[in-house]
Amino acid sequence: MSERFDIVVVGAGITGAATAYHLMKRGGRTVLLLEREAPAAGGTGKSAAIIRQHYSTPVLSRLTRETIDLYREMPAELGSDGGYVASGWCFLLPADLRAGAEANIAMQREIGIDTRFLEPGEISTHLPEIVTDGIDRVAYEVDGGYADPVTTTEALVAAFRDLGGTYRQRQPVRSLLREGDRITGIETDDEQVLAGTVVNAAGPWAKTLAEGVGLSLPLRAVREQDTIWEVRPGRPIPSVSVSNAVDAIYLRPLGERRFVIGRGFPKDYQDVDPQNYKLTADEDFIAEVQVRAEARFPAFAGMALIGSYAALYDVTPDWYPFYGPRSEVAGYVDACGGSGHGFKLGPAAGRALADWILDGETDKDFAALSHDRVAAGRLFTQAYGGNRG
């Protein structure tokens, strides 16, 4: 005999865990959260976990602002701080991005985000000894920073269980179940589980699940590399998270003079099989990151490589996530396609998804993130001039 739950959430990354938690917090439903390995075992756990609200569309800026609010509430609500550090965030801009950044900052300030351009004399306060060649402006967010992706996700899963949710790890979902125009549950190696609603939060593996029951899900699985370095003592180093559009790199502090450093857009994106891809960074990638970081921050000269790794982005055609139900099928909800933004958006998106599932409606901005936008020709890159946020 099959088990039955009101809602099944597939995937305990940040979005799946947050959705499951907020569903239980609302109460009145039985919820099962299934994870193929352990919380944050996929892309979430390897996220650089930089927190910034700088987007070109209000919906993503609002979601990240709410995520920051949720992080601040975590100690009281979940008993964990999620490792959130409001170190500040700096965005190094070349001249050709100035106009777009000015428009973005004006929009963000209108919705209550504390952000501005730094005056030239302020830059060294946050970025000591930085080489300013090629930098036109530096945008700054006081509430930006970073968090711990594993601690955050584990705290959400634990709180979900404390509220009465059922969590099972090392239980990969092999397929969805479909009857006509309705998704009716899921199947694992051991059993079928029936559900009124299935939330597909399986990240790069979401595509296989959806397409297995005839649902289109245009996701690319893209290999994303990162490196960890330790800077020699004796010189001042940045305390903020940094997105550097001049040199196409990003970095965020890990403490003890260590930093995660990776490549930013524009760069080559390597499509891979999510079941079989190289888990360490390439030698040429490591060398390129080192050269760019040391040229911009002289204090990083001679830094020691601690490690490297590769994770996966689940990338949509317009680099905006797929969140919400679909018009062509009942009982199914997308919660995937983070496209490198998933950790920043996940906690707030999970709350919005839970409300949408339980109330049957959401606000217009969030509804625009539904997969329905693909068939309707309302991709964000078309509406916003190719800006990927």
| Averaged confidence pLDDT in the chain | 95
Per-residue pLDDT tens over the stretch 43-89: 999 999 999 999 999 999 999 999 999 999 999 999 988 999 999 99
Place of tokens 């399986």: 202
Please give the domain boundaries of the chain with CATH numbers for all domains. Answer: 3-48+150-218+317-383 (3.50.50.60), 89-142+221-313 (3.30.9.10)
The closest alpha carbon to 201, from 374, 32, 3, belongs to 32
Non-local CB neighbours of 125 within 8 Å, separated by 6+ positions = none
CA distances from 173 to 22, 143, 191, 197 (A): 22, 38, 10, 15
How high is the pLDDT of residue 353? 98
- Looking at the predicted structure, is the pLDDT value of residue 302 above 90? yes
Per-residue pLDDT tens over the stretch 18-32: 999 999 999 999 999
- Comparing 132-141, 199-208, 224-233, 260-269, the range with the smallest average pLDDT is 260-269
The closest alpha carbon to 168, from 40, 39, 343, belongs to 39
Ordered DSSP codes for 32-89 = EEEESSSTTTTTGGG---EE----SSHHHHHHHHHHHHHHHHHHHHHS--TT-B---E
How high is the pLDDT of residue 389? 37
- Looking at the predicted structure, is the pLDDT value of residue 261 above 60? yes
Residue 102 C-alpha from the chain's centroid: 24
How high is the pLDDT of residue 387? 37
**CA–CA–CA angle 31, 36, 42 (5° rounding):** 105
User: Which pLDDT band holds residue 316 (cuts at 50, 70, 90)?
Assistant: very high
Mean pLDDT for the stretch of residues 368-384: 84
Q: What is the spatial distance between Cα 315 and Cα 220, in angstroms, rounded to a whole number?
A: 5
Q: At 276, list the tokens.
A: 């079989």
How high is the pLDDT of residue 176? 98
Per-residue pLDDT tens over the stretch 235-260: 999 999 999 999 999 999 999 999 99
User: Which pLDDT band holds residue 1 (cuts at 50, 70, 90)?
Assistant: low
CA distances from 249 to 93, 206, 243, 292 (A): 12, 28, 7, 8
Mean pLDDT for the stretch of residues 103-108: 97
Phi, psi at 215, each rounded to 5°: -100, 125
Place of tokens 């009716």: 184
Per-residue pLDDT tens over the stretch 161-194: 999 999 999 999 999 999 999 999 999 999 999 9
Residues of the chain with pLDDT > 90: what percent? 95
How high is the pLDDT of residue 382? 42
- Looking at the predicted structure, is the pLDDT value of residue 385 above 70? no
Mean pLDDT for the stretch of residues 313-318: 95
Cβ burial of 225 (10 Å; 0-12, 13-18, 19+) is: buried
Ordered DSSP codes for 173-239 = EEEEEEETTEEEEEEESS-EEEEEEEEE--GGGHHHHHHTTT-----EEEEEEEEEEEPPTTS----
How high is the pLDDT of residue 386? 34
How high is the pLDDT of residue 388? 36
Whether the CB-CB separation of 334 and 224 falls below 8 Å is answered with no
Q: At 121, list the tokens.
A: 């004399």
Amino acid residing at 315: V
